Every structure is written in structure tokens, then in C-alpha cells.
Structure 1
Amino acid sequence: MEAIELGKRLRDARELCGINQDNAAAAIGAPRTAISLIESGQRSVSTLELSKLAGLYGRSPVAFFEETSQYETVRLLLRRTVDNHMGASEKEGIMTSLDLWEEGARLEAILGNSTRPAVPTYSFGVPRSKGEAVRQGEATAEDERRRLGIGFGTIADVADIIANQSIWTSASDLPNETSGLFVAHRDVGLAILVNARHARGRRRFSYAHEYAHALLDRERSIDLSRAQNRDDPIEVRANAFAASFLMPKGGISAILRQIDKGGPSRLQGELFSSASDDAVPVEVRPVPGTQRLTYQDAAYIAHHFGVSYPAAVFRLQNLSHITQKEAASLLAQSNTGNSYLHTLGLLDDINGEDGQNANRRELKLQLTRLAIEAYRREEISRGRVMEIARKLDLSGDTLLRLAEAARVPQG
């Protein structure tokens, strides 16, 4: 392989990971100019340097020499991936989203990629078992919540959080057995698309699931999440991440304490006695049956965290708050749980549909911000602003007026 092509692939991998040249240079113990020369094909890269850079970028050194999908156009890759799984209208919706991702990537290039933060990479490798996949997914979710500073609280808008992490975020109609797809490619960067046909709570879970792929599986180029793949360790890990990210262990425990449920059948401990100056054994037994979780509790938890009723039940089981038998019983009462929420006027919060206007809400916000900033810097023309507005189904005159307003001197 020619040095120019290898350098280009190394640069693409570095930029996809959000790593700057200074950090890459530090990894191989060389000045920043060495990375610049390597990426432009003007300096050879040693086997040791390639190994270190590959590790930094979460890849195998061999991957840079293969005829892999990463070096085909994203449009060709996407068509090949969805051709056998989608109908004509579904493909059209995906390609419309791709047009917007490409438009966003072009605007970012014009602005020097300086307007968005870099999304982190968590490198675990492919899990060897489902158990390991669950542990990796949950650990990543905890780390990511900590990084984002959201603690154990409820995530009000998961799509908004993802969109603010340098990821194009949108929804489009997909087959029912497909929850979403993730794209990591030099042509567009990182992008997530979820099934707009699914209910609101399920879409939230899908956004979190695809976000896991963005954090953990960037080398896969395109990942289509389908029901048929649910036993794949990579998909298991993404599901574990989504459950823990949306319903953190500490948050579940706090809710159970709040409703005084899910505790042990007896509590044993010791209290200090002032009379005898030592400990007195104490046993507290709740009233029999009061700690048992019911469909009402599962529905309450589902609504609190904005997920589907089954997702809440499975999370309670995975955290050992209920047994497998109790989970099966609660799942059999899914309709009752949803009826309970419907009676309270709450079911639409998790089972409702957002409508077409919400499908590209984040993308519209991302692209209009970039377009207005590019126009403010006089990097794009009035005609380009009008064209971007057309792609976003916005009023061209309105977007142009907003862009003009950004040029008005302040103060």
C-alpha cells in the first residue's frame, strides 16, 4: 500500500476517534509534525508506531491494510446494508437522512471541525460471552453518566444528549424488527438513526442502544440493530448499556426506597445500648407481602425513566430486585400496567408517537446552527443557506433572515 493511502486511513481513524495530532504524537513518542508527515504520506510509519496508533484508535494494525468497508463511500455501504432489509420508502427515508449527515459534514469541514466536541471511545474489544457483554455495557453506562455529570437522575431527552456529543441524530420509518442503525464513516462522522414507527419509550431505548455502538463499536462502520441479531454479544452489550444508561442502578434503588418496596423480608442489625454500653441485636420484619413489587410499581418505574413497561421489568430482574418467576408474572400483566398508566393520562408519555416534526428535530438544530455560523463567517452564500433550508423543510426566507441577524455587530 502506498504511504499516501496509509496516511489517509490513519488520519481518518484518528479524526473518527476525536483524537488530535498532539495526543497521537505523544502515543508514539514523536513530535506533532511526525503525525502530520505520516498522514500526508511524507514519512513512513514503523511497525511499532503503527501498532501504538492502532491501539489508540481502537483498531487492529492489519485493518489499515485491508480492503475494508471503511474505505468505501458511506452511500455505497448504506445501500448494500439496507437493500435486503428495507422497502423502497424506508430506503428513501434513510437516504434523506444521509443527505443531511453529508451536508452537516461539509459544513463542519468549512468551519474547521471546531464547533462540536469529540465523543469518547471506550475500548473493550469484542466480549467473549453474554455475561462479559453485560458487564462491559453497564460499566460504560456508569462511566458515561459520570462523564456527562447526570448522576442517577432521569434523562429527560436522550436524543438531545446524544446530538450534543458530535453525533448526527434522527429518526425515520424502518421495518418493525429493526430498532435502528449506527454509522461511523469518514464521509459523515458518527450518525444514529432510530425507528420512527416505534413508541416513544422504545425509541428512547433505541437511541441509547445506538449510542453504545458509537462509544464502543466505531470500527464496524455500519451496524443495523435487528431482532434477529439480539443474541450477538455486541448487541447484548449495547442493550445492557441502554438499560443502565436510562435506568441506573442507583436511580432504581432510590425509587424503590421512595415507594418502600423491593426490600428484604427481614433486616438484622445491632443498636447501641446506653444502659449496657454494648450492642443489642435487632431484627425488623416488614408486614408480609408489603415488599412485593406489583404491575403498578413496574409501570411507575417505567414512566419515571421514560421506558417501556417490559424494559422496566427486565431491568428490575437484572438488578435482582425480582426473580425470574416474578418477572414473568409482571410481564404477563403488561396490558394491565399500560392500562393503569392510561387511566392516569400517562401512557402517551412512553407509548405515544412524536410525529414527523420530531423525527429530525435534533438534525435540524445541528444543521441550522452550522449553517448560520458558516454564513456569519461568510463561508457560504445566501443560495447555500436557502438550499439547506429546503433540505430541512424550513422556510428559506426565515433561515436566511436568522443567518443575516447573526452578522449584525454586537454592542
Structure 2
Amino acid sequence: MSENSEILGDREIGERLRIAREGARITQAAAAQAISAARTTIVALEQGQRRVRTDELQKLAALFGTSANALLRRESVHVDMIPRFRKLTMTADEAALDAVRLLNDLVRAEVELENALGVSRSRNYPPERPVLPGNIRQQAELDAQELRTWLGLGSGPCLDIISLLELQLGIRVFLRPLHGSISGLFAFDEISGASILLNSNHPPSRLIQTALHELAHFISARHQPDVMAEGDHRQSREEIYADAFARCFLMPARPVRERFLEITAGQSHFTRRHIILLAHAFGVSREALTRRLEELELAKKGTWNWFVSNGGISDDQVRAVLGDTADLTAFRNEARRKVPLRVSLLAREAWKRDIYSEGQLARLLRLDRYELRALLDGTDNEEREANDLVKISY
């Protein structure tokens, strides 16, 4: 990420041009054609070896889908995570690269709003726990329990994972519709901090699982970015750790054992109803819960596969057991929110102060004008109603 200064040097302007060009997936040759120059001219501009002229800057900014003002603005932040992700084999996939670019833009937008308003995100990062030799699942169990204790969660279920990541740990979390092959991404930068992007098209139980999978990468290898893809069966120790950590954090061994014994006391068979009740209690999918029971030897190996081959567990059966409580309405609403609450508050304040226009905010937050207006709705009334009694004192 580039440093801010009152006057940007040629090298910094060149770096910003490169990041904007790569983010827009424009080749150097196409950029050169837009300003009627040779490709070597673009190379020189991006390396800071030649100063960009005003007319060139305007043409390039339009080509890259931004503005000259955004490229030169002092508080403008230019995050560049793409080179780090390119080191991953998974990022050869175009859908993954699109998701990386989106995460890059969303982190940049939040940090830029923070800089414009003179605020910063509080961080409460736990100590890093590298993956060690030995029993990897046992380490994941211990690390998950240690983090729960460190956060003061105790042994009870933790259903609001997104708020925990955002508010208690200070990780930037974004939910946006992604290609069906991508579940989530994780990245860490010393200046912008940790960030996670989740596929909001996925059901709540899978979103929660993905969020904790990416949290595990933050715990064990935070300087290594990660792309989690659907159907990806990587069996590295790091991936085994991340999957086990997510299960253990959501379903700690002792509470699962206790709840299992309570629900099945005095009964002779383990049924769909037991799985439904336990999965709901811990806010996980029926499959995740059953496989955790198998792992803890509370259910026989192959139990989930048996249920699948015998009709599975349908949503109708879940509603028959749980009624209206089966719908995680609050989480579904959160998944539909394209801008995190904290970022929306920053955007509203920046607009009220005339730091950004509607068009600038829409481009910054990757929203259309309708979505931006919905985010700003009511801001004028809030400002008119404000008086000395409701102003915030710092």
C-alpha cells in the first residue's frame, strides 16, 4: 500500500496507475493505445521514470474506470494484494482473480474512508499459532479452545461469527455475491490488517464455516493469502488444520458431548431429529454436526453417509422439528448487506461532510447509484435533527 503525502511523486503516481490498470484488467499495450503512445511509455510512467501529463492522466483514468482525482487525491489509498495471490496455484482461475480484485477494492475503500475521516480500525489480533509437527487435528482443537477462552466465549455456542470477527477481533469482513466456485478469501497486510471476503450466495451454515476456515489461516499463517474454492480437496497440513479448527471452534468437544448426552438420554436410536436439534443448537449444517459426532466417536463412522443414502435430511423435516426458528433471518439479512455496517456509517459521514460525491462513493464501494442512495437514505434527516445533546463527544 502506498504512503500518503501532500504531493505525490512520479514513482507513487506511476504505482497507482499500474494498480488501477491491473485492477481494470487492461494491458500495457491497450493503455498505450489510449494515449497514442508506445508501450514503453506506459512502462516508464508506471516505473516513475517519466511524469504523466494531465491529458494522459485523464485518458488513462477513464480507461481504468476511475478518475484523475481519485488517482491523485492525498487520502486515496491504493492496496495491491494481487501479486501475493498470484503466487497461489488457485489464482490461475479467472473467478478467483475477480474475487481477489474485489477484495482489493473493498479493503482500499474502507481504508480510504478511514483516512478521509481521520479514524482507524481497532485491532485485537490473537497471537499467531504456526502449524506444528505432530497431530494436526489435536493442535487445531487446542488452538480453537484457546481462542474461545481468549475471547471470553467460554464453552457455549457462538452463532454470530461475523460480528465476532469484525467487532471483537477487528478483521475486515465483506460479503458479496461471488462466482459459485469461490467460497471465500483471506488476506493480511501490515497497514490495512486482516480481511476476509465471503460468498453471500452461499447458505448461512456454509458462510460461517468458510469464515472460520479463513480465520484459521489468519491464526496459523496470516502472511499467506488464501482462496477457498468449492470442491477443493487440498490435503496440506495447513488445509487440514483450517478445516479442523473451524469444526472445533464451532463445536467444542465438551459442550457437544454434554448436549449429545442430554438429547439422546434414555433413547435407543440416533435419529434425524437428534441431528436437527444439535445442528441448530450449534448453528452448523447437519453434515458438519454429524461428522463432528463421528470425530468425537459419539456416532459411528459413516453415519452421515448412511443418512444420505437413506433419503438425507430435508429442509421440510427441519421445519417440522424447529418450526420458524429454523430460519436464521438476521444472518440472511446480514449476508444480503453489500456494505458492512461500519463502512456504511463511514460512507454516510464522508458524504455529509462533502468529502465524496455520490458518484465517487458509488465507484469506491462498487455499488450502483440505487444501492448507494439506499445506503445514504435518511442522512439528511439525521443531520437536521442533530443538536448539541446528541453530538458525540470524544
- Give the TM-score band, short-chain normalised: 0.5 to 0.7
Q: Using the alignment, how far apart are the partners of 2:329 and 2:93 within structure 1? A: 26
Query: 1:84-109: per-residue Cα shift (whole Å, max 9, x none)?
Result: 3234xx75565344322112123344
Q: Using the alignment, how far apart are the partners of 1:146 and 1:363 within structure 2? A: 30
> TM-score normalized by structure 1?
0.62
2:176 aligns with 172
Instruction: Give the CA deviation at 1:192.
Output: 0.8
Q: Using the alignment, how far apart are the partners of 1:242 and 1:112 within structure 2? A: 35
Instruction: Give the CA deviation at 1:295.
Output: 2.4
Matches within 5 A, 1:167-246: 167-186=171-190, 188-220=192-224, 222-226=225-229, 227-246=231-250
Which amino acid in 2 is paired with 1:180? G
**Cα 1:172–1:371 shift into 2, 3 Å:** closer
Which amino acid in 1 is paired with 2:80? T
Partner SS for 2:372: coil
1:84 aligns with 92
1:73 matches 2:80: yes
Which amino acid in 2 is paired with 1:216? S
1:133 aligns with 136
1:293 aligns with 270
Q: 1:398 aligns with which of 371, 377, 384?
A: 377
**Cα 1:373–1:151 shift into 2, 3 Å:** farther
Q: Using the alignment, how far apart are the partners of 1:334 and 1:77 within structure 2? A: 44
Which amino acid in 2 is paired with 1:310? E
Instruction: Give the CA deviation at 1:223.
Output: 0.6
Q: Using the alignment, how far apart are the partners of 2:382 and 2:103 within structure 1? A: 23
1:270 aligns with none
Instruction: Give the CA deviation at 1:314.
Output: 0.7
Q: Using the alignment, how far apart are the partners of 1:135 and 1:188 within structure 2? A: 32
Which amino acid in 2 is paired with 1:128? P
Say whether the 8 Å CA contact 2:86–2:92 is kept in structure 1: no
1:99 aligns with 105
Q: Using the alignment, how far apart are the partners of 2:328 and 2:389 within structure 1? A: 45
Q: Using the alignment, how far apart are the partners of 1:387 and 1:163 within structure 2? A: 25
Which amino acid in 2 is paired with 1:84? A
2:287 aligns with 310
Instruction: Give the CA deviation at 1:183.
Output: 0.8
Which amino acid in 2 is paired with 1:102? R
- The worse-fitting range, judged by mean Cα deviation, of 248-257 and 155-164 is 248-257
The count of corresponding residues between Structure 1 and Structure 2 is: 303
Say whether the 8 Å CA contact 1:179–1:206 is kept in structure 2: yes
Query: 1:154-211: per-residue Cα shift (whole Å, max 9, x none)?
Result: 2222112111121111223344443211111246321111223322211111111111
Say whether the 8 Å CA contact 1:154–1:246 is kept in structure 2: yes
The alignment's C-alpha RMSD in Å is 3.6
Partner SS for 2:228: strand
Say whether the 8 Å CA contact 1:208–1:242 is kept in structure 2: yes
Instruction: Give the CA deviation at 1:259.
Output: 1.4
Q: 1:116 aligns with which of 106, 112, 122?
A: 122
Partner SS for 2:92: coil
Query: 1:222-256: per-residue Cα shift (whole Å, max 9, x none)?
Result: 11123334312111111111111111223212322
Structure 2: give runs of 5+ residues left out of the alignment: 1-78
Q: 2:342 aligns with which of 334, 354, 366?
A: 366
- The percentage of aligned residue pairs carrying the same residue is 24
Instruction: Give the CA deviation at 1:291.
Output: 4.6
1:149 matches 2:152: yes
- The worse-fitting range, judged by mean Cα deviation, of 155-164 and 106-115 is 106-115
Partner SS for 1:231: coil
Say whether the 8 Å CA contact 1:158–1:204 is kept in structure 2: yes
**Cα 1:328–1:364 shift into 2, 3 Å:** closer
Partner SS for 1:335: coil
Q: Using the alignment, how far apart are the partners of 2:308 and 2:133 within structure 1? A: 30
1:323 aligns with 300
Structure 1: give runs of 5+ residues left out of the alignment: 1-71, 262-285
Q: Using the alignment, how far apart are the partners of 1:352 and 1:407 within structure 2? A: 32
Q: Using the alignment, how far apart are the partners of 1:118 and 1:354 within structure 2? A: 23
Instruction: Give the CA deviation at 1:260.
Output: 3.5
> TM-score normalized by structure 2?
0.64
Q: Using the alignment, how far apart are the partners of 1:354 and 1:114 within structure 2? A: 26
Query: 1:15-39: per-residue Cα shift (whole Å, max 9, x none)?
Result: xxxxxxxxxxxxxxxxxxxxxxxxx
1:388 aligns with 361
